[in-house]
Amino acid sequence: MDTYNIFKQKLEEINQLNSKLVTAMKLQKLGRVNMAYSTVPEQKDIKRIQDIIAKSHGSANQEIRLAQDMANKITKGDKAYRRYKAAFDLGHDHLAKIFKDRYDQLTGVPKKSPSPIKPAVAKTLPPPPKPKTMVPVDKPQENKLQMAVNTVKQSKRSATATDLKMLRDIEKRFYQNGKLTKDDMVQLNSLYQEYK
């Protein structure tokens, strides 16, 4: 490449970056994004979701009420978004929806349908859905998997979002294939040992 083409390419890259920066600054001015904060859930956000689950003692109505109370107190969109991501990463989609609705409300995103969640109507949540095409599962491996899942979820230590995602992925693969791979067994064993 000659000097002119290199210069032209670098100038194009600078213009693209400048365009992205201008867009981000406009969004910040509108209050849609606070660039000083990250949208990746912090340990504090994960802890708050785990506290909601612990305080509710398995009652979905109580979980929803506590999450709604917490969401109503949030005044910044980025915080609501981090709580949404934390709840989603921990596998609590019903709580994630509450924080996502609050994020949308704070950032001015219009709702698609006006259907507020009514805590009195909520029922106890079923276990995670299994694939529609069921394959026969290895019962001893399923028992090991459930023991590891329960150990991590009931641990006194707060499980990281990465560990919980890994656990969900292993669980998903297990119910799709009917058995655990050698790598999955190693990961499950390390998670079990870490959180027991």
Output the six-digit token pair for 166.
Answer: 């890994």
What confidence score (pLDDT) does residue 72 get? 93
Q: How far apart are CA 148 and CA 189, in angstroms?
A: 8
Which residue's entry shows tokens 């297990």?
A: 174
**H or E element that contains 53:** helix 43-56
Q: How far apart are CA 49 and CA 54, in angstroms?
A: 9
Q: How far apart are CA 41 and CA 48, in angstroms?
A: 11
Q: 193: burial class by Cβ within 10 Å (0-12, 13-18, 19+)?
A: exposed
Question: Average per-residue pLDDT in the chain?
Answer: 76
CB 155 within 8 A of CB 35: no
% of residues, the chain, pLDDT over 90? 10
Q: Residue 182 pLDDT more than 50? A: yes
Q: Confidence class of residue 71 from pLDDT cuts 50, 70 and 90?
A: very high
**How many angstroms separate the Cα of 157 from the Cα of each of 16, 152, 154, 191, 194?**
44, 8, 8, 12, 9
Which of these ranges, 33-42, 89-98, 117-126, 169-178, has the smallest mean pLDDT?
Answer: 117-126
Q: How far apart are CA 74 and CA 84, in angstroms?
A: 12
Distance of CA 69 to the CA centre of its chain: 19
Q: How far apart are CA 78 and CA 96, in angstroms?
A: 14
145, 148, 147: which is closest to 130 by C-alpha?
145
Q: Is the pTM of this model over 0.85?
A: no
CB 145 within 8 A of CB 192: no
User: Mean of the pLDDT values across residues 168-183?
Assistant: 79
Domain spans of the chain? 11-125, 139-195
Q: How far apart are CA 114 and CA 195, in angstroms?
A: 41
User: Mean of the pLDDT values across residues 60-67?
Assistant: 89
pLDDT in tens, 120-172: 444 444 555 554 555 566 778 788 878 888 887 777 677 777 777 888 888 88
